[in-house]
Structure 1
Amino acid sequence: MSTESPFGLRLKALRQQQGLSQAALAGDEISTGYLSRLESGARKPTERVIAYLAKRLDVDRSAFYIQPSSSSLTQALSLAASTDSSEAIEDLIEVLATSRDEDPLLRWQALWLIERYWHARREHAEELACLEALTAIADDLELPALQCRSKSRLARCLRAKGDVARALEFATSAHQVAKQAGLPVSDEANALLALVSVEAEAGRLPDARAHAEELVELVAEGSETLRSEALWTAATVCSRQGDDAAACAFLDQAMAILDSRVDPVLWARLRLAAASLHLQGSPPSTESARAHLNEAEAAFALVGTPVQQQEILALQAHLAFEEGRYADARAAHSRLDIDKLMLNYRDRIRLQTLDSRLLIVEGHRKEGLARLKHLGEDARRAANLDLAAEIWQILAETLEHTAAG
């Protein structure tokens, strides 16, 4: 089992910085196997070995323990980690961009904080760049926990952007790392959360359901938050499979488990999910959807973010359409600035689908049908097969309805 040490991490970083293989650094006096164990922390160096390696690397022995150039980055990282201030994170971004510090572990820690900052602001390009860098550093360090966490979050980000193929690659890798390294339940659960969501998006519903059941069992003794997220994920998979009864049962259980005082944001998001689920039913349950949407709206009035306000407005538009209040649906849709949407890929496509249906109702039948066909093709090309099927079904039903009319 690996027990990474500061010495081992610095030794590996210094070797890689100089472009040396383990064999080249080991030379004639130590074996590559011994050097590998030093880097992993499995062996402690003797004074003779430290002196030998310092000479081979042409550095002072203090380089294995202290990095003089890291002071500004270390200070900025400490300040950012100890406050919720946006200014501190912005300072960290600036320092990291100009820092010549080559300590990969320090850079990983800084990027992890910065990624959360970009995620909260829905700056997807910056978030993706951070996650790509985090994953590369974690792979170079060969630290399973960091690999799992980086790849799980990268998979979620790629899924939200609609890049399902790459998301599946990283989610699968994160899950494999968690299992093989025997990581804590929280890491394995987060990897499974990412994997199930991506598999569902890719239309691999049998795999997604099997992994969702594994996830629910894994976190059975976990925290309220983790159990609720697992049940929500299982509900999503069941909904994609058309098993609305099972989906509602899972989501009802998730909402019953979580106290609003434990995680008010997740509590409200579960109700948004329930409203969306009821609107997608066949037939839609508009009364239940309205009740859950009202609960979420009241909660997000206190703790909501701009993206959640957009989600509420989008669901209000969908609800109005299903209730036949087309003018209200158009009004709600018009309040959303399409150029500034922070919704994920699936919700954006659904909003465009709603716009197409409204165009048909408003008398622009040819344009509305053409847009629906285009959206269906886009979803198919993005490998969102169940979303594509949903759009094609709406298109077919619309054609049947307009023909009958």
Structure 2
Amino acid sequence: MLEQPTFGRRLKELRLERGLSQAALAGSEISTGYLSRLESGARQPTERVVTYLAQVLGVDRSAFDRPPSGGSLAQALSIASSADDDEGIENLIVVLGQVREETPFLRWQALWLISQYWQRRGERAKEQACLEELGRVADELALPELQCRAGFQLARSLRATGEVTRALGIAVNAYQLAKSAGLSVTDTGSALLTLVSVEAEAGRLPDARAHVDELVELVEGRSDPLAAQALWSAATVRSRQGDHEVARSYLERAMKELDSGADLTLWARLRLAAASLNLQSTPPHIDRARECLQEAASALALVGTPVMRQELLTLQAQLAFEEGRYADARALHDQLHQDVLLLTYRDQVRLHILDSRLMLTEGREEEGIRRLKELGEQAGQQSNIDLAAEIWRILAESLEDVSQSRHGAKS
């Protein structure tokens, strides 16, 4: 029998080949915790356990004498694409790192699944490295559909981490490729979605407005996730142009037209976006923001990713602040910082704004004002004109509040 950790890797390979979860293999004979430690190599199996595992797996004990092969990429892809959890993807990552002679099409499919896995986990650096490789494979295959998809996915990830200049060039190329190759509405619309979001982040609002109008026209008559995302993009652009009423109407329409059964994750994300927009309004629409967050929280209990849960906590903290529950807002803010922040650049800036405003309520006026000035300058340097304007407005209002407070104290 193989020694650990090789035995554990062979055991895991046999289990995944049969599509069994750890719970199914453990059964009532051993605990899943013990099985997990066996697979990781942390525990050495007993003779009784080896006999039991061989019986459940339907193999002879000699199957544990062979080192793990890692399996073929096709086999790992089949397991990963049919699994309901991330374990199959993790095995796929291992196999992809081992194989050398596989067709580019299989490599493409593997990289696509793996990039989505890293995106769900908020591992942006790993996601981007995977998408870079995805683009190289797409170029090797010379298929416009795959080149376009690799491009707009990479641009989205770069935008999320604040690399707007590079994201813009890639997004423009993906959109132009979709148009010149006459790609489907889905591919062209997805490329447009990405281009609009990057242009808006770069402060190129006239370009974003023209492209989002093109996008809304492209999906007219549809009531699917792509149409909902088009309306969401239109709302984002109108909001950054200062037209919050029209922006809210776009988002309300998107939420009304998208059934939760079509895409529960997008259904929840729309409500997070609506809550954020209502909280950013002047004055904030607190009741509607609260309703949207309550609906989003219910959905995220079922489909929430780590990133979305952090977005929810951020908005709940902002809501608590607007409702005057400063202690609750501070507790939620501090809870977020107990883990690595997975939020986008813009959401992290908003969290810093909240922290600065909380400092003012806590008597740390000079520190809070200094931080707001720094955030405003940084947003301006990053060409986030609407975000910078929002920060300077908040700073002006904060300075006025501080002045009135000091004047009242003297009186």
TM-score (norm 2): 0.78
Distance in 2 separating the partners of 1:400 and 1:232: 34
For 1:377, give the aligned amino acid: E
Q: 2:42 corresponds to which residue?
A: none
For 1:122, give the aligned amino acid: G
Q: 1:172 corresponds to which residue?
A: 172
Q: 2:219 corresponds to which residue?
A: 219
Distance in 2 separating the partners of 1:330 and 1:309: 17
1:246-325 to 2 correspondence within 5 Å?
246-325=246-325
Query: Which moved further from structure 2: 92-101 or 160-169?
Result: 92-101
Distance in 2 separating the partners of 1:103 and 1:389: 51
Cα shift at 1:102: 5.8
For 1:283, give the aligned amino acid: P
Cα shift at 1:237: 0.7
Cα shift at 1:338: 5.3
CA contact (8 A) 2:205 2:237 kept: yes
Cα shift at 1:223: 4.2
Q: 1:161 corresponds to which residue?
A: 161
Distance in 2 separating the partners of 1:395 and 1:160: 25
Q: 1:352 corresponds to which residue?
A: 352
Cα shift at 1:115: 0.5
Distance in 2 separating the partners of 1:84 and 1:287: 37
Distance in 2 separating the partners of 1:383 and 1:79: 45
For 1:265, give the aligned amino acid: T
Q: CA separation of 1:299/1:83 partners in 2, compared to 1, >3 Å: closer, same or farther?
A: closer
**Is 1:201 aligned to residue 201 of structure 2?**
yes
Cα shift at 1:348: 1.0
CA contact (8 A) 1:201 1:386 kept: no
Distance in 1 separating the partners of 2:79 and 2:104: 19
* Cα displacement string for residues 84-135 of structure 1 (whole angstroms, at most 9, x for unaligned residues): 3422211221121122226333322211111011111111111010011111
Cα shift at 1:252: 1.0
Cα shift at 1:383: 3.1
Q: 1:112 corresponds to which residue?
A: 112
Distance in 2 separating the partners of 1:300 and 1:109: 28
For 2:401, give the aligned amino acid: H
CA contact (8 A) 2:223 2:257 kept: no
1:225-244 to 2 correspondence within 5 Å?
225-244=225-244
Cα shift at 1:142: 2.3
CA contact (8 A) 2:148 2:191 kept: yes
Distance in 1 separating the partners of 2:271 and 2:169: 31
Distance in 1 separating the partners of 2:145 and 2:270: 28
For 1:268, give the aligned amino acid: A
Distance in 2 separating the partners of 1:316 and 1:83: 33
Distance in 2 separating the partners of 1:71 and 1:285: 55
Distance in 1 separating the partners of 2:258 and 2:198: 24
Distance in 2 separating the partners of 1:369 and 1:358: 11
Secondary structure at the counterpart of residue 242 of structure 1: coil
Cα shift at 1:206: 1.1
CA contact (8 A) 2:258 2:267 kept: yes
Q: 1:368 corresponds to which residue?
A: 368
For 1:357, give the aligned amino acid: R
How many residues are treated as equivalent by the alignment? 337
CA contact (8 A) 2:278 2:286 kept: yes
Distance in 1 separating the partners of 2:206 and 2:372: 27
Cα shift at 1:360: 1.4
* Cα displacement string for residues 233-284 of structure 1 (whole angstroms, at most 9, x for unaligned residues): 1001111111011101101110110112222222122111111111100111
The share of aligned pairs that are identical, in percent, is 61
Distance in 2 separating the partners of 1:192 and 1:241: 19
Distance in 2 separating the partners of 1:395 and 1:105: 53
Distance in 1 separating the partners of 2:205 and 2:228: 20
Cα shift at 1:74: 2.6
> Unpaired segments of 5 or more residues in structure 1?
1-69
Cα shift at 1:339: 4.4
Distance in 2 separating the partners of 1:394 and 1:139: 47
Cα shift at 1:308: 2.2
Q: 1:398 corresponds to which residue?
A: 398
- Runs of 4+ aligned structure 1 residues displaced above 3 Å come to none
For 2:394, give the aligned amino acid: I
Distance in 2 separating the partners of 1:279 and 1:342: 21
Cα shift at 1:353: 0.8
Cα shift at 1:155: 0.7
Distance in 1 separating the partners of 2:124 and 2:242: 31
Secondary structure at the counterpart of residue 81 of structure 1: helix
Q: CA separation of 1:323/1:87 partners in 2, compared to 1, >3 Å: closer, same or farther?
A: closer
Secondary structure at the counterpart of residue 221 of structure 2: coil
Distance in 1 separating the partners of 2:275 and 2:71: 50
CA contact (8 A) 2:356 2:372 kept: yes
1:4-43 to 2 correspondence within 5 Å?
none
Query: Which moved further from structure 2: 171-180 or 217-226?
Result: 217-226
Cα shift at 1:229: 0.9
CA contact (8 A) 1:156 1:167 kept: yes
Query: Which moved further from structure 2: 71-80 or 229-238?
Result: 71-80
Cα shift at 1:139: 2.5
Distance in 2 separating the partners of 1:86 and 1:339: 21
For 1:179, give the aligned amino acid: K
Distance in 2 separating the partners of 1:388 and 1:164: 16
Query: Which moved further from structure 2: 251-260 or 289-298?
Result: 289-298
Q: 2:44 corresponds to which residue?
A: none
Secondary structure at the counterpart of residue 254 of structure 2: helix
* Cα displacement string for residues 132-191 of structure 1 (whole angstroms, at most 9, x for unaligned residues): 111122223321101110011101100111111111111111100000000000000000
Cα shift at 1:377: 2.7
